[in-house]
Amino acid sequence: MSNPSSSEASGPAPIEAIDRALMLLISLSEAGPDGVPLANLGRDLGLNKSTAYRALSTMRARGFVTQDTDGSYRLGPAAIGLGADYFGPASLTQLLHPALIVLAREVDELVHLGILNGDRVIYVDKVEPDKAIRVWSQVGRNASAATTSLGRAILAYRPIPDDHLDAYAPSEAAAAQLRDAVAAARERGYATEIEENEPGIACLGVPLLSNGGAIAALSVTMLASHVDDQRLAEVAARIAELVPPRLPENVELPAALMLARPH
């Protein structure tokens, strides 16, 4: 029997359009938040400028690529979210549910675990305290990332340029508020939401990080009348103490998954 040709042995030839798109995504990933101009992408990858532009425009329409006002391209939220989707609700819930139980008992407050899906946050787990707190929530519910402490905590710790945060907000006013909330979260290590969604209710959100980016967040829901700066700092510090700073390497999650601790 004759030996197969080299092309047959190595599998089918790649589809050029898909191969170009993947090369562009890899290049943008390596470039990070600074982005790359179109001319540089074409030169570095050996692509015709118009060919690269068409591929980038297609991926931009799907949210895999974004373009800055100066023309530079960056990874978009759809591409960044792929990793979070892969290490998604099932494995995260199984891993972190015991910690949520302990946290809810220790702070005596309602605790949620959430992930980002587009511009929405999905609640994937919750643990209620012994005391009654009148907040409507359920696993599977989704809410605006811009107006929740969970969403703000995740957005604050993803490589999303500030001028692209507007895409996650439903209005210009909400966008300005989101930028302020994200800046505060980056400074403190946790995000807050005080009576923006429900009267009398306040929430604190802490991001869960993997390889430098947030893949999920924990939130603690409290009565706003019982919340001040000291209480927020105490709860954030308690989260850092109760949730392991580094998770076991044998779980189906990146070994680098950890909590962003308050500064």
What is the structure's pLDDT at 3? 47
The CA distance from 192 to 208, in Å, is 15
AA letter at 94: Q
Q: Are 238 and 225 in contact (CB under 8 A)?
A: no
Q: What is the CATH number of domain 6-75?
A: 1.10.10.10
Please give the share of the chain, as a percent, with pLDDT higher than 90: 20
Give kind and range of the element (H or E) at residue 69: none
pLDDT in tens, 60-118: 998 889 888 778 898 887 776 666 555 555 567 777 888 889 898 888 899 999 988 88
Residue 255 has pLDDT above 50, yes or no: no
What is the structure's pLDDT at 94? 78
| Total residues belonging to the chain | 263
Options 3.30.450.40, 3.40.630.30, 3.30.360.10, 3.40.50.360; CATH of 82-259: 3.30.450.40
> CA-based angle 36:41:42, to the nearest 5?
150
Higher pLDDT, 167 or 10: 167
- Would you place residue 7 in the very low, low, confident or very high pLDDT band (cuts 50, 70, 90)? very low
What is the structure's pLDDT at 180? 93
pLDDT in tens, 180-216: 999 999 988 899 999 888 889 999 999 887 766 788 8
Cα 224 to chain centroid, rounded: 26
* DSSP designation for 36: B
According to DSSP, the residues that pair with 207 across neighbouring strands are 217
The CA distance from 90 to 86, in Å, is 10
Show Cβ contacts of residue 174 under 8 Å, excluding neighbours closer than 6 positions. 144, 146, 147
Q: Which residue, 81, 85, 74, 78, is CA-closest to 36?
A: 74
Any idea where the domains of the chain sit in the sequence?
6-75, 82-259
Domains 6-75 and 82-259 share a fold: no
Q: Which residue, 212, 250, 206, is CA-closest to 99?
A: 206
Residue the block writes with tokens 């967040």 = 217
What is the structure's pLDDT at 167? 87
The CA distance from 192 to 147, in Å, is 9
Q: Are 216 and 128 in contact (CB under 8 A)?
A: no
First to last CA, the chain: 68
pTM of the model: 0.61
- Give the helix ranges, DSSP H, for the chain: 6-9, 16-31, 38-45, 49-61, 77-86, 89-107, 149-156, 172-188, 229-242
What is the structure's pLDDT at 78? 78
Q: Are 99 and 240 in contact (CB under 8 A)?
A: no
- H/E/C letters for each residue in 7-18? HHHCCCCCCHHH
